[in-house]
């Protein structure tokens, strides 16, 4: 390899590298720099070192928003994964009605968050909402989903699951189609019942899809924002304020750009840590199952 050759190679990737640096690397570093400064929209700002991070540690609102974020993610991801898988199993057939239902269940995924929250406002409102109506019809009291601090996160979770179930369902359907038919025929000849076939054939074959869905959804739900802002604006009394909503309010409500950037960096590191932990854990369990 001559150095001349190296330069020619670099020329080929230069356009991409340039674009990548401008729209990804630079903002990333700029954000990191911002987080070390106290800046508002108008002044030049001044360097405060790790001051913003120290402040975050003592900020109960930020702390609560992080807890809310993790709680709602824990509510959403397992349920979403199971429901998407169940739908995929039910709709993995060539019939016309299955195709129609696949379309229906995926359709919510194409809606904007504005529409989704509007729909669920109608569903969840205690007096006029559909769930309230149902509760009354069965002689119960309508639950104040959006104004009770214990019910508001489940309400967010339900809304989010309804909105996001389509894509994981598609991933599971794609995974199911990958399982060769003769595997099921072999299982039938091996006297495996439906339940055994599901646990010993289908689920292990979908292992990689399950990992993918859980990791994608975890990373996505840790950034939950629109639903919380539009349904409840983080209320009542911050019970549904998520980390990204905290960011948004700090940056674009109070214009504390440096402080918001610091919070963003913390959230980024947390998501990275969670994702890497999941990745590591699946590697471990795979090794364990290989060693059997």
Partner 1 sequence: MASLELKGIRKSFGSTPVLDNIDLAIDAREFIAFLGPSGSGKSTLLRIIAGLESADAGEVWLEGRRIDALPPGERGVAMVFQHYALYPHMSVRENMAFGLRNARVGKEEIERRIQDAAAVLEIEPLLERKPAEMSGGQRQRVAIGRALVKEPKLFLLDEPLSNLDAALRLRTRVELAQLKRRVDAAVIMVTHDQAEAMTLADRIVVMNDRRIQQVGAPMEIYTRPANVFVAQFVGSPAMTLADAELVGDGRYATLKMGDGATVETRVKRDGLSSSGQLRIGLRPEMVRVGGNEAKAKVELVERLGERTLVYARLSNGQAITAEDEGDSKVKIGDEVPLKIDGAAAHVFDAEGTGHHRSDA
Exposed, middle or buried: residue 156 (CB in 10 Å: 0-12, 13-18, 19+)? buried
CB of 174 to partner 1, least distance (A): 17
Residue 238's closest CA among 156, 152, 124, 158?
A: 152
CB of 203 to partner 1, least distance (A): 9
User: In the numeric block, which tokens belong to residue 269?
Assistant: 């590191």
Stretch that binds partner 1, among 19-27, 87-95, 197-205, 268-276 (CB under 8 A): 197-205
User: In the numeric block, which tokens belong to residue 85?
Assistant: 């898988």
Q: Which of 74, 119, 135, 201 binds partner 1 (CB under 8 A)?
A: 201
Q: Which of 50, 82, 100, 188 binds partner 1 (CB under 8 A)?
A: 188
CB of 183 to partner 1, least distance (A): 5
Q: Which of 82, 186, 269, 273 binds partner 1 (CB under 8 A)?
A: 186
Exposed, middle or buried: residue 278 (CB in 10 Å: 0-12, 13-18, 19+)? middle
Residue 196 makes contact with partner 1 by CB under 8 A: yes
Q: Which of 183, 269, 273, 281 binds partner 1 (CB under 8 A)?
A: 183
Stretch that binds partner 1, among 82-90, 99-107, 203-211, 238-246 (CB under 8 A): 203-211
Exposed, middle or buried: residue 164 (CB in 10 Å: 0-12, 13-18, 19+)? buried
| Residue corresponding to tokens 């983080």 | 234
Residue 192 makes contact with partner 1 by CB under 8 A: yes
Task: Round to whole Å and give the CA distance between 243 and 228.
Answer: 10
Residues near partner 1 (CB under 8 A): 180, 182-183, 185-193, 196, 200-201, 204-205, 207, 289-290, 292
């Amino acid at each position: 390899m001559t150095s001349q050759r190296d330069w020619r190679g670099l020329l080929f990737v230069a356009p991409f590298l340039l674009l990548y640096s401008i729209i990804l690397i630079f903002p990333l570093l700029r954000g990191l720099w911002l987080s070390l400064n106290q800046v508002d929209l108008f002044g030049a700002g001044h360097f405060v070192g790790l001051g913003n991070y120290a402040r975050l540690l003592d900020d109960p609102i930020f702390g609560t928003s992080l807890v809310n974020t993790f709680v709602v993610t824990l509510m959403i991801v397992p349920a979403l994964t199971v429901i998407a898988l169940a739908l995929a199993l039910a709709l993995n057939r060539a019939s016309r009605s299955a195709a129609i239902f696949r379309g229906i269940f995926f359709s919510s995924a194409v809606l904007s968050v504005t529409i989704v929250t509007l729909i669920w406002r109608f569903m969840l409102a205690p007096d006029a909402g559909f769930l309230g109506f149902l509760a009354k019809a069965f002689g119960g009291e309508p639950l104040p989903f959006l104004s009770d601090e214990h019910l508001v996160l489940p309400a967010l979770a339900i809304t989010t699951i309804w909105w996001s179930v389509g894509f994981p369902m598609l991933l599971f359907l794609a995974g199911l189609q990958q399982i060769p038919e003769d595997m099921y025929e072999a299982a039938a000849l091996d006297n495996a019942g439906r339940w055994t076939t599901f646990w010993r054939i289908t689920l292990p074959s979908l292992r990689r899809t399950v990992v993918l869905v859980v990791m994608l959804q975890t990373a996505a739900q840790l950034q939950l924002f629109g639903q919380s802002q539009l349904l409840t604006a983080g209320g009542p009394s911050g019970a549904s304020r998520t980390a990204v909503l905290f960011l948004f309010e700090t940056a674009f409500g109070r214009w504390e750009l440096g402080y918001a950037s610091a919070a963003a960096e913390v959230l980024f590191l947390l998501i990275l840590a969670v994702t890497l932990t999941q990745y590591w854990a699946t590697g471990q369990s795979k090794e364990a199952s290989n060693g059997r």
